[in-house]
Structure 1
Amino acid sequence: MTPPPASQDAETEATGRAGGTLWDTRRRRTHRDIRRAARELALERGVAAVTVDEIAGAAGVSRRTFFNYFRSKEDALLEAPPALAPDAVERFVHADDFSFGAALADLVRGHARDIVRDPDGIATSHRLVTENPELAGFLLEMFAEAERALIAVFERRLARTGENIDPRLAAALTGCVMRMAVECRRAEAAPGDVPADPDALVAEVDRVLAGLRAVLAP
């Protein structure tokens, strides 16, 4: 069965809706409570032994409320890659003074800083997939969804500039760079931890980019 796509973060969904700050705060709290309950139950008993009804009950919400925030229990458990910041996307698309590669490197560095905003969430997702291999397919679909979004961003720029770049190849390589950088940082950390230092991850991204250029050099 094809895993469902990851839901958007409730904080993003709440932006611009009626209710202002109080509405946003409540949605963030509910989103956090459901995810925490799901992870605690799954880590204690295993994913297969946990139901949506049990997660909702532990979080103090109804089943209907659960599905207002997440599309499945797997969606609640795993940390999807964060969306690209809209302002960063616009800078990339309109960076006419920079080549595609230079503009992309800047975009990736900024994204690396966004990734480490929730290092505990990343570490918990990694642990859950390690202990529950059936989650791997859902995580892969989350990454595939992020890659499709990245392709759409690349196509916007290429439609303007006419640069001879394959957006699918560029997106695949970008995903590899980010995963390699995170894994290298993880290897240097204590077991189960993800370093929360954004500068360190950006430096790792630069090292991976340099290594990629060396591999692809004629």
Structure 2
Amino acid sequence: MTAPVTARAPEGAVAAALEDVAPLGGFFALTVGGPDHGWHPVTDTYAGGLTDLAEAVADRYGTRETRIGVSVVQLGHAARLWSPVLAGTLLHGIVPDLADLHRADDTAALRLPAPTGWYADRIPHLTDALYELVVEQHLAPLAAGLRIKISPRLLDGNAASALAGTAQVLLTARPDLRGPLTELTTALLATGRLAGTGHFTGPDLSFRRRSCCLLYRTSTGTTCGDCCLAR
């Protein structure tokens, strides 16, 4: 992400922010530091088309449709990106740098080798910067590496759903942040590939997307709460 050098935050401040937001839920947790063993650059996962994680999810749901596994994994990964970014920005004014992000060899967990990041209030055009950080630097190369045919708008809808879900968790934890949280999330949902993917339907930031993650095609027949097929 492009940002002024003067926007860089001390590693201690970034680490403290990430440690504070982690208890909000599993998607908010980013391992920081520690040995490299057991981790690999997340770009390797993107280049591999999410194959290992997608196959595991497909097996879990008892389906041969690999695209369902891909969709569910991409949705979860988007949530793991948006959650620490949105929480760090709004709760601490810290945007974590995800350029050197790693993924666990055997799970979907994520790690930053070093706690680097920026002060949010020193980043020009913050909405565009956050969009670049998550969508352009991570979700776009993830989509480019997929080895199966899947609708780009489905993936965009997953990214939007993950963002809205993150916002709902934050609103529950910090209702005093309703104003800035709603403003930033609404702006992000109107940016780039997220535009037109869905809309908020209530003050609790409940969301209705215009696509489906395909979970309904598993044996459970389940639709998510924000699905266009839900009633």
**Higher helix fraction: Structure 1 or Structure 2?**
1
**Higher strand fraction: Structure 1 or Structure 2?**
2
TM norm structure 1: 0.40
TM norm structure 2: 0.38
